[in-house]
């Protein structure tokens, strides 16, 4: 590993100032589960590592006045998957955090790091896109919030400006009569996702779908959403004919790669299977407590 200076600033402003002193040679450090691998194998010269963990207040979960939830970017996966409010209101997100690596990884790996690493297979990124979450960013010139789905340009590349720091992820208030699911396909439990899908469904009083979102991971250079799912399933009972139309849209949209873990063709077919599974399960969970018979 290369030699570098290590800093642990106590505030966001100081972290940003340290980064600005050497934008080319600086990296933010959260849990380090991706960064240290990159430093071991990377070719770019890193001279300064800025540890964000000493900054207070970046690792909590806060309920917002509108009922939404604000998650600190430094929130470890283990805390996220155990939080009762998240498990109840944003179940797919808890399910995704639960499968990130093994227990030692989940103790260190953070939500912000999972997003900023910009892998199209990042597990928590998929439900965050389905929930239409916002990423809160801070820089010397101020702050901004952007939809999580617009965070990435390519594998390993975000839209963050040099030195911009992610401080939080904001989830909108939970929808009424709703449910969410996360589905993942892997070769082994400890492997990253071959494919993943997340669905959020909110129902009308008569049991038809009011709002549906669907996001897919590892099927394109970035995590993507499938807007056709909402258009096709609105006011339906999520029946087989409607789901078949969504599957067709998924298969036509995805752009998976061939690699040693699976062929593009297999991934394309399975994207449809996983999307259908995520949607059907979300619908089944949403309709059950409502006591609506079809």
Classify each residue of 205-229 as buried b or exposed e, where b means 16 or more C-beta atoms within 10 Å of its C-beta: eebbbbbbbbbbbbbbebbbbbebb
Give the x/- contact pattern for ligand FAD in 153-192, rule: CB under 6 A.
Answer: ------------xx-------------------------x
Phi (first) and psi of residue 153, to 5 degrees: -105, -30
CA dihedral (64, 31, 91, 202) positive or negative: positive
Helix, strand, or coil (residue 284) = helix
Q: Half-sphere exposure of 81 toward its Cβ, with a 13 Å CA cutoff?
A: 19
User: Would you count residue 116 as binding ligand FAD (CB under 6 A)?
Assistant: yes
Residue of 19, 31, 179, 225 interacting with ligand FAD (CB under 6 A): 31
Nearer to ligand FAD, 18 or 209 (CB): 18
Nearer to ligand FAD, 52 or 203 (CB): 52
Residue of 48, 89, 114, 213 interacting with ligand FAD (CB under 6 A): 114
Position closest to ligand FAD via CB: 113
User: Would you count residue 130 as binding ligand FAD (CB under 6 A)?
Assistant: no
Q: Which stretch binds ligand FAD (CB under 6 A): 6-14, 114-122, 139-147, 206-214?
A: 114-122
Total residues binding ligand FAD (CB under 6 A):
28
Tokens found for residue 155 = 């594998």
Nearer to ligand FAD, 72 or 174 (CB): 72
Residue whose C-alpha is closest to residue 71's, from 150, 4, 168: 168
User: Would you count residue 73 as binding ligand FAD (CB under 6 A)?
Assistant: yes
Q: How far apart are CA 8 and CA 18, in angstroms?
A: 10
Tokens found for residue 214 = 């669907």
Tokens found for residue 123 = 């597990």
Which residues, 191 to 220, sit near ligand FAD by CB under 6 A? Answer: 192
Residues of this chain that bind ligand FAD (CB under 6 A): 27-35, 52, 73, 99-101, 105, 108-110, 112-114, 116-117, 122-123, 165-166, 192
């Amino acid at each position: 590993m290369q030699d570098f200076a290590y800093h642990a600033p106590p505030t966001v402003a100081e972290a940003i100032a340290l980064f600005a002193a050497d934008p080319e040679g600086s990296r933010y450090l959260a849990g380090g589960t991706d960064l240290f691998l990159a430093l071991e194998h990377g070719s770019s010269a890193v001279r300064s590592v800025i540890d964000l963990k000493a900054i207070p207040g970046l690792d909590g979960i806060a309920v917002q006045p509108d009922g939404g939830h604000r998650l600190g970017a430094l929130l470890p996966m283990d805390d996220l998957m155990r939080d009762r409010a998240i498990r109840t209101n944003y179940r797919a997100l808890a399910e995704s955090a639960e499968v990130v690596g093994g227990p030692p990884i989940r103790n260190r790996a953070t939500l912000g790091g999972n997003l900023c690493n910009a892998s199209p297979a990042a597990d928590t990124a998929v439900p965050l896109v389905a929930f239409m979450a916002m990423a809160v960013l801070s820089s010397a010139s101020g702050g901004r919030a952007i939809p999580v789905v617009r965070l990435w340009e390519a594998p390993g590349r975000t839209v963050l400006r040099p030195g911009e720091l992610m401080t939080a992820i904001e989830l909108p208030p939970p929808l009424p009569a709703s449910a969410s699911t996360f589905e993942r396909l892997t070769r082994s439990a400890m492997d990253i996702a071959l494919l993943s899908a997340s669905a959020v469904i909110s129902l009308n009083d008569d049991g038809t779908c009011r709002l549906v979102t669907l996001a897919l991971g590892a099927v394109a250079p970035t995590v993507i959403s499938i807007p056709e799912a909402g258009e096709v399933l609105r006011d339906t009972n999520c029946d087989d004919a409607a789901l078949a139309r969504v599957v067709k849209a998924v298969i036509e949209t995805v752009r998976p790669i061939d690699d040693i873990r699976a062929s593009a063709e297999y991934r394309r077919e399975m994207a449809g299977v996983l999307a259908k599974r995520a949607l059907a399960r979300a619908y089944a969970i949403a309709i059950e407590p409502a006591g609506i018979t079809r």
